[in-house]
Amino acid sequence: MDVQMPIADGIEATRRIVLSGVPTNVLSLTTFNRDDYPYRAMKAGASGYLLKSSPPEQLVNAVRVIATGDALLAPSITAAHRRLHESSTSRYASSGVRRLVR
């Protein structure tokens, strides 16, 4: 599912497909590496999220993974979120604030 489409965007289309009750696993694709797109797509019910610049073998693997019912995020997105988390954690540590994790 392309995130950027005319009329209804891919995130809205994904939400509608999931709400229809038809058993479907949606893989969201985009050229945009924005932080909010993966979150919004997964919240709408997408099973996976990849950038269109992903190598063909990643796309094939993603289709296989979500076909089994598992979820998948593009490695570049996972790495970006990990870096964001690490920087926020180091900010807490350097400020003397203790972060509680459940």
Other CB atoms within 10 Å distance of the CB of residue 12: 13
- Using a cut of 0.75, tell me whether the model's pTM lies above it: no
Q: What is the pLDDT of residue 16?
A: 93
From residue 81, give the alpha-carbon distance in Å to each of 38, 75, 78. Answer: 11, 10, 5
- Spatial separation of the C-alpha atoms in residues 33 and 13, rounded to whole Å: 19
Cα separation, 63 vs 56, whole angstroms? 11
How confident is the model over 20-79, as pLDDT tens digits? 999 999 998 888 766 678 888 889 999 998 888 889 998 999 999 999 999 888 877 766
Question: How many angstroms separate the CA atoms of 34 and 28, rounded?
Answer: 13
Is the pLDDT confidence value at 87 over 90? Answer: no
Tell me which CATH homologous superfamily contains domain 10-94: Response regulator (3.40.50.2300)
N- to C-terminal Cα separation, the chain? 34
Three-state DSSP at 8 gives coil
